[in-house]
Structure 1
Amino acid sequence: MEIIGYVFIIIAFARLLAEVFERLGYPGFLGEITAGMILSAVLVGMPRDQMELLAELGLFFLMISAGLEVTPEELHYAGRKTVPLYVATYIVMFLITIPFTGGVVGFDNIVSAAILSIASAPIVLRLKRFFGEGFLHVALSYAVISEIMGLFIVYMTVRFHESPGDYAPILLDILKDAIFIGGILYVNYLIGIKHKVMLIRFLRRLKSDEAVFGLFMVLSTSLAFISEEIGMHFTIGGFLAGLLMHSDLLGTKQYERLTTILSGVTYGIFAPIFFAWRGLNFETELSFVVIEFFVAIYTVRLLLSTLAVRKDGPSKSLVRGAGIASFGVLGLLIGEIGFVSGVLSEHMYAMSSLASVLGIFASATVGRIVNHRSSKKASKVS
């Protein structure tokens, strides 16, 4: 009953602040993170192990939802643009962190650059009317690729840290990861070519939406278990499950049945807990150096992203750049993993965490300002 009480308080307060932020024109998850920051000073006796498990479930469901947003074909097509942009962004972020680590190049720079190269899918979706449908898939693709690469980089860094000089097991793990992901995508290709109609007919015979959701959860948890066993983060398995179960494969009706239930479970229960938990564990330091770090990081990244995706005038290009340069909540998790594992110093953990949160606010604010000006121009014309 104790854990139920804490869950009730967190969800209720998180959803309350989410509504407030939505009314102010910001994404609701920022309110949920803020709720966690406020509650961190109040819920001091909270059973942390149980809450951490629920937060990890929240991340699991969010990654599944991210997978459902795109198809493998869209990811492949958009990846031609987003992978080079991600590589360029990562390199630039890596170079900018060097002065803030005393000119020393090491694990701090590798993990911090991974955190600072991430994009926020919720911000991208909020600004989608500026993107257009074609570019929306590119922006979502960047968000997904950057999140997966961020998790991959921090776990690879931890392995190098734990086994210095012994690279054979690490290379074997990378090979297993590649075979697993490649195998999943190949199975998706075979089903889409040969067994798509049979799968749709089978799902149509199921009498309830819960049966479709139950089968999907069996697939998701199975892939998550395999991901964890071969050394990847378990949420990558959830993402792959979502990527497999796209509308082209399931059929529109079955896809809608699945996403309706999943959306309710994710955004009604587990996502608020995950975002609030990230706020509860938020650690930073306030100093001139930290502000200087954020201003340098965000300015360079916004300019880089805007130039890379420029199209249809400066306003739309700026908003598109802000969507790509929106950092992300997953950066807080990556920072926590790096700090606990000893590959990220407390100083860089604090600075990267604050940059992630401020970057989300900054990108949302850029979108709001451009939206407000566009509305004013439209009203003057009419």
Structure 2
Amino acid sequence: MQIIGYVFIIIAFARLLAEGFERLGYPGFLGEITAGMILSAVLINMPRDQMELMAELGLFFLMISAGLEVTPEELHYAGRITVPLYALTYLVMFAVTLPFTGWTVSSDNIISAAILSTASAPIVVRLKRFFGEDFLHVALSYAVISEIMGLLIVYMVVRFHESPGHYEMILSSIIKDALFVGAILYANYLLGIKQKVRIIRFLRRLKSDEAVFGLFMVFSTSLAFISEEIGMHFSIGGFLAGLMMHSDLVGTKQYDRLTTIVSGVTYGIFAPIFFAWRGLNFETELSFVVIEFFVAIYIVRLALSTMAVRKTDLPTSIVRGAGIASFGVLGLLMGEIGFVSGVLSEHMYAMSSLASVLGIFTSATLGRLVNQRTSKNPGSLT
């Protein structure tokens, strides 16, 4: 009952602030993070192990939802644009962090660059009217790729830290990861060609939405278990499960049934806990160096993203750039993993975490300002 009480308080307060942020024109998850920051000073005796498990379930469902947003074909098509852009962004972020680490190359730079290269899918979705449908797929693809690559980079660094000199073992682990992802995508390709009709007919025979959801959860948790066992983050298995369950494979009706339930469970229960937990564990330091770090990072990244995805008119280019340069909540998770594992210093953990939160706020604010400007002057984007 004690745990249920804490869960009730967190969900209620997080959703309350989320509603307030939505009314101000910001994504609700920013209110949920803020709720966690406030509650961190109140819920001192909270059972952290149990709540961390709930937060991890939140991450699992969020990654499933991210997978359901795109299809493998869209990811492949958009990847031709977003993968080079992500690689360029990562290298630039790596270079920008060097002055703040004494011009020394270390795991601090590697992980901080991964954190600072991510994008926020909720921000992208909120700004989608400026993107156009084609670019929305590109922006969502960048957000998904940056989150997955960031998690993989962090886990690679942790592996090198835990097994120094054992390069054969690390290389075999990387090969297993690549084979696992490749096998899932190839299986999806084969099923889409040969078994699609059978799958749709089988799902149509199920009488309840709960049966569809139950089968999907068995499938997604199985992939999550396998991904964790081979050394990847469990949430990547959830993402791959969502990626496979696209409407072309399971049928539009079954896809709608599935997404409705997943969305309700995710954003009604587990996502508020995950975002609030990131706020509860948010640690930073406020100093001139930290603010200087964020300003340098954001200006460089916004300029890079705007030039890479530029449109004929400046407002649309800026909003597109802000969508790509929106950082992301998973950056806080990457920083936490790196810091707890001993591969990210406390100073860079604090600066990267603050940059992630401020980046989300700044990109959302830029989108709001352009939205207000275009609402008053509808011809400004044409």
Same fold (TM over 0.5): yes
SS in 2 for 1:165: coil
Does residue 226 (structure 1) correspond to residue 236 (structure 2)? The answer is no
Contact 2:83 2:145 (C-alpha < 8 Å) held by counterparts: yes
SS in 2 for 1:123: helix
Q: 1:198 to 1:329 in 2, by over 3 A?
A: same
The amino acid that maps onto 1:252 is T
Give me the whole-angstrom Cα distance separating, in 2, the residues matched to 1:172 and 1:116: 28
Counterpart residue number, 1:286: 286
* 1:97-149 alpha-carbon deviations (Å, 9 max, x no partner): 00000111100000000000000000000000000110000000000000000
Give me the whole-angstrom Cα distance separating, in 2, the residues matched to 1:312 and 1:65: 33
Counterpart residue number, 1:352: 352
Does residue 21 (structure 1) correspond to residue 21 (structure 2)? The answer is yes
Counterpart residue number, 2:195: 195
Counterpart residue number, 1:257: 257
Shift of 1:295: 0.1
Give me the whole-angstrom Cα distance separating, in 2, the residues matched to 1:154 and 1:335: 9
Q: 1:161 to 1:200 in 2, by over 3 A?
A: same
The amino acid that maps onto 1:91 is L
SS in 1 for 2:377: helix
Counterpart residue number, 1:302: 302
SS in 1 for 2:104: coil
State the TM-score, normalizing by the size of structure 1.
0.99
Counterpart residue number, 1:238: 238
Does residue 277 (structure 1) correspond to residue 277 (structure 2)? The answer is yes
In the alignment of these two chains, the number of paired residues is: 381
Give me the whole-angstrom Cα distance separating, in 2, the residues matched to 1:164 and 1:183: 29
Q: 1:155 to 1:380 in 2, by over 3 A?
A: closer
Give me the whole-angstrom Cα distance separating, in 2, the residues matched to 1:229 and 1:108: 26
* 1:131-174 alpha-carbon deviations (Å, 9 max, x no partner): 01100000000000000000000000001111112100000000
Give me the whole-angstrom Cα distance separating, in 2, the residues matched to 1:195 and 1:107: 45
Q: Percent identity?
A: 84
Contact 2:374 2:380 (C-alpha < 8 Å) held by counterparts: no
Give me the whole-angstrom Cα distance separating, in 2, the residues matched to 1:104 and 1:18: 40
Give me the whole-angstrom Cα distance separating, in 1, the residues matched to 2:176 and 2:355: 34
Counterpart residue number, 1:362: 362
Counterpart residue number, 2:373: 373
Counterpart residue number, 2:157: 157
Give me the whole-angstrom Cα distance separating, in 2, the residues matched to 1:99 and 1:178: 34
Structure 2 residues not aligned, in runs of 5+: none
Give me the whole-angstrom Cα distance separating, in 1, the residues matched to 2:270 and 2:66: 14
SS in 1 for 2:105: coil
Does residue 335 (structure 1) correspond to residue 335 (structure 2)? The answer is yes
Counterpart residue number, 2:314: 314
Shift of 1:312: 3.6
Counterpart residue number, 2:186: 186
The amino acid that maps onto 1:341 is S
Does residue 113 (structure 1) correspond to residue 96 (structure 2)? The answer is no
Counterpart residue number, 1:4: 4
Shift of 1:176: 0.3
The amino acid that maps onto 1:337 is I
The amino acid that maps onto 1:285 is E
Shift of 1:294: 0.0
The amino acid that maps onto 1:309 is V
Q: Point out 4+ residue stretches in structure 1 off by more than 4 angstroms.
A: none
State the TM-score, normalizing by the size of structure 2.
0.99
Shift of 1:380: 10
* 1:36-95 alpha-carbon deviations (Å, 9 max, x no partner): 000000000000000000000000000000000000000000000000000000000000
Give me the whole-angstrom Cα distance separating, in 2, the residues matched to 1:104 and 1:80: 32
Counterpart residue number, 1:89: 89
Shift of 1:378: 2.4
Shift of 1:338: 0.1
Structure 1 residues not aligned, in runs of 5+: none
Give me the whole-angstrom Cα distance separating, in 1, the residues matched to 2:177 and 2:98: 30
Shift of 1:379: 9.0
Give me the whole-angstrom Cα distance separating, in 2, the residues matched to 1:43 and 1:270: 18
Counterpart residue number, 2:171: 171
